[in-house]
């Protein structure tokens, strides 16, 4: 029977990264093979929680319309970010449906990133 409440569906589970794991991955990689996609609105991206250095802003409501603009990143690791991790989880599922394989969700979003004491940019 089809379960509409299950969060994984045909795309499979979404890999969750803690802020510390994401920071370590970004630090070791130096931005060569990892891309941060922030799916918040512009006022959130530039708001009190700030954003992760070099994050690419792609608001969730625009993602279905502009997902092809991310095709250059299909071979890279993508970490999706939002306020608390809910929208970015949905973004991960959408990216996986469009052929992105190395997709990760930032667990707890920018709330947990900031709470963990990690650096943000305004």
Residue 31 has pLDDT above 80, yes or no: no
Residue 1 lies in a domain: no
Domain assignment present for 2: no
Res. 3: pLDDT tops 60: no
Can you tell me the mean pLDDT for 22-51? 94
Domain count, the chain: 1
Residue 75 within any structural domain of the chain: yes
pLDDT of residue 12: 54
Of residues 2, 20, 9, the one with CA closest to residue 90: 9
The rounded distance, in Å, linking the Cα atoms of 20 and 94 is: 24
Q: Residue 95 domain-assigned?
A: yes
Q: How far apart are CA 108 and CA 49, in angstroms?
A: 13
What average pLDDT does this structure show over 84-113? 96
Q: Above 80 in pLDDT, residue 5?
A: no
In a domain, 6, yes or no: no
| Average pLDDT over every residue of 81-109 | 96
The CATH number of residue 71's host domain is: 3.40.250.10
Q: What gap in Å lies between CA 14 and CA 77, rounded to an integer?
A: 13
- Domain span including residue 91: 13-115
Task: Write the pLDDT tens digit of every residue in 94-103.
Answer: 999 999 999 9
Q: What mean pLDDT is reported for the chain?
A: 90
């Amino acid at each position: 029977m089809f379960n509409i409440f299950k969060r994984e569906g045909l795309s499979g589970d979404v890999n969750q990264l803690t802020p510390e794991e994401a920071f370590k991955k970004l630090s070791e990689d130096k931005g060569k093979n990892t891309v941060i996609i922030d799916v918040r609105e512009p006022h959130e991206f530039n708001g009190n929680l700030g954003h992760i250095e070099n994050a690419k802003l792609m608001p969730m409501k625009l993602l279905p319309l502009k997902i092809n603009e991310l095709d250059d990143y299909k071979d890279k690791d993508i970490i999706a970010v939002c306020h608390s991790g809910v929208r970015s989880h949905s973004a991960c599922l959408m990216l996986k449906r469009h052929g992105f394989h190395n997709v990760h969700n930032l667990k707890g979003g920018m709330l947990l990133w900031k709470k963990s004491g990690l650096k943000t940019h305004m």
